[in-house]
Amino acid sequence: MHRMMQSDVTTLYSKTDIGLRLQPYGQFGLYHRPVLISGLMAPKLPNIPTSADFTGYSILIIGATAGIGLENARQYLQLGVSTLYLGVRNVEKGEQVKRVLLDDPIVKLKNPHAVVQIYEVDLASLASVASFSRKFPEEVKTLNIAVLNAGVALLNYVQTIDGMETTFQVNYLSNAWIATSLVPLLTSSAAASGKLSHLAFVSSMMQNVGGFGTRKTVPQEENIIDWFSSQNNHGLDRYNVTKLLLTAYANELASRINADQVVVNSMCPGLVQTDLDNNMPFFIKYPMKVLRSFAGRSPSEGARALTLATLTGRDGNGKFYSDGHVTPYWDWSDPNTQSYLPTAVTVDTVTVVEPGPDGNPITTNIPNPLNAYTFQSRNSTSTFWGNFATWPTTLRQPDASGASRNDLANATLQNTYSNRHQATYLAFSYTSFNDFSVSLEALHDEVHSSIGGVGHMTYIPYSSYDPVFWLHHSNMDRLMAMYQAAKADTFIQPLSSVATFANLNSQLDTVETPLYPFRRFDGSFWTSQDVSSASTIFPLSYGYPEVPCLMTFTTFDALRNHTTTEVNRLYAPKPASPTKRSVDTNAIRKEWQAKVTIDQSELRGTFVVYFFFGKPPAHSSLWPTSASMIGSFARLGSPGVQMQPEVVGSNVILTDALHKALTVSSPQDQILSFLKHNLTWMVLSDNEPVDIRSLKTGAEILIILKLLQENQEVRLPTAI
């Protein structure tokens, strides 16, 4: 069986989703891990936007006579859909549902001219599926949205009239057939109307439980339909596997059509109070009914997942939606934003729209919760140090009066963007995970101090109160996942440990060291070994553009190449000579760095080492934004607290600053002479200047020249 990967998506400007890809045809190589169940109660789904309006739309729902499908139909009608087509197994029941829907008080009030038409289709009969797939596109001229909701859950092996296993035929094969037949109609409707069409599949997060990761692979010489139809290959996880196949098909289909016309996605409505388990044995059916009754969503809320999936834009193509979670990140090395704080975290107020008592929306301006956190009482900060005990909100780069200065935080971040951008790129050149970790930690601390100044982000005990902390740390998780994907065979090397309250006697940290206090579902502690692969984020239903769920079932090498290309696209320096570089893919680029090492125990609180070309400004408050400041190294601490003895350090990139001060082709001895006479450094500890000569162990600065191979498209930056 092929080794496979899993993952997908988050940025400050996008949704959190998980997508799946199935290798087309032939051999299946499906790899996934059991889902982690952190709680039974289903989280609340987002509300349908008040701006949602389906007036003029034609919509098809397959499986709409009960439960989620029925409520989805009701929602579309209440939101103005002009023509609603219902694909049903029993036409008589379909007509009854039609009357119920059109008699709905809200539908009669808001959409009295709606048209509902019934089409017969039984997914357990290929003849019925073939008839519908031919008849519907011939008779219907416009279709803007199709929701494929029909499915079954069976424990025992049951055959259809076609001789196939029922769960496989209904949940996967028939849905795939119908979807394929609808694509031309959805595409032509999009072209005619000028608005996106949507094709949405109702799948399940149960796809993450069991399945091919613990079962046989379909042999390459086997016919897939025959294999799934054989009772010898039937298992208790057939529902899970068929939902996995359906999501994988949706993802593959999404990659093959024009997303500017048709958006294809899938979703999990969650645990819902429906009769899905009616065909299960009593020892499963009744416990599930009890579970659904107290932990499940109502059919109306579950149906919102379907409606929301068809409101996505082009960026929803190929995605799997579950629970509506959003985990934004802020990429402070993105060349498009160049380390500026996102507007979403700097504006003072935001406008929110809430439903009023009469059903009409009410618009209100509120303090922006991403700009600052307001402490709930003076008691909650009474034990804080110094000014932190009196400040009522989190502050960034505060002035003497306790006012936040986002503009100064932006200026500080932007002043070191070039260095940060290069350091991010070079971090991926390390073949040792330990070296990468140190490099990433240096970037992490430097961003903290640049935002905070003497405010909350600069100090460990208070930094997480600032909302931007979470966007920053989501990005740290993203960069870690990117490195794991790009260097799948690289692991943490044993290193001396520091005693903690949970592990007083540890002398060495290894891949098997328990990661207190984080426990797995079985109660044991997580270890680095458990999370050494990028794929370990997927059971948690999230990923990133550079480690995408679209590549879930590709090989490690394919994912490595994709992530590598993205690293280079985002962070690689522009070549000095594109024409030459396009011919010589092994061109050598020189990187100059200053390596600083210092014993942290000689300093207090958070300290920062600033590097300059020439004389620094006289007042230390001007150092972070000075034009002569070329880079910095920060180490986070607690205010007024002396750190434990440890020699720490980092590499500060000098290359861009040298290119501005000299010519790119300056001789090496000329560069060294320039550095000897012009490179200076200063230290701030707890925002107070420190005389380096007073440090007993001193601060050592080494100049390093790295030779790096340039091939932006296909390989990581590799140190020689």
Q: Write the secondary structure of 63-122 as one string of H (helix), E (strand) and C (coil).
A: CCCCHHHHHHHHHHHHCCECEEEEEECCHHHHHHHHHHHHCCHHHHHHCCCCEEEEEECC
Question: By C-alpha distance, which of 387, 464, 423 is closest to 632?
Answer: 423
Specify whether 587 is located in the same domain as 543: no
CATH number (domain holding residue 161): 3.40.50.720
pLDDT at 719 (0 to 100): 30
Residue at a domain's end among 532, 551, 571: 571
* Pairing label, strands 83-88, 115-120: parallel
Specify whether 392 is located in the same domain as 248: no
Per-residue pLDDT tens over the stretch 317-370: 888 777 655 457 899 998 888 899 988 899 998 887 776 677 677 888 888 888
Collapse the DSSP code of 317 into the 3-class scheme (helix H, G, I; strand E, B; otherwise coil) and give the result: coil
Q: Give CA–CA dist 669/675, Å, rounded.
A: 10
Number of independent structural domains in the chain: 3
Per-residue pLDDT tens over the stretch 378-412: 888 888 999 999 999 999 999 999 999 999 999 99
Tell if the pTM clears 0.95, that is, is over it. no
Domain with 699 in it: 578-710
Specify whether 553 is located in the same domain as 603: no
Specify whether 672 is located in the same domain as 529: no
Q: Which residues of the chain have pLDDT under 50?
A: 1-41, 210-215, 326, 577-586, 709-720
CATH number (domain holding residue 369): 1.10.1280.10
Specify whether 508 is located in the same domain as 582: no
Ramachandran assignment for 526, one of left (phi > 0), alpha (psi -120 to 50 degrees), beta (any other): beta
pLDDT at 304 (0 to 100): 87
Specify whether 240 is located in the same domain as 381: no
pLDDT at 566 (0 to 100): 87
Question: By C-alpha distance, which of 246, 112, 109 is closest to 167?
Answer: 246
pLDDT at 575 (0 to 100): 59
CATH number (domain holding residue 667): 2.60.310
Residue at a domain's end among 533, 550, 571: 571
Catalytic residue among 239, 462, 465, 571: 239
Half-sphere exposure of 26 (CA within 13 A, CB side): 6
Q: Give CA–CA dist 22/175, Å, rounded.
A: 16
> Is 239 a residue of the active site?
yes
Specify whether 589 is located in the same domain as 561: no
Place of tokens 């005619």: 192
Specify whether 251 is located in the same domain as 376: no
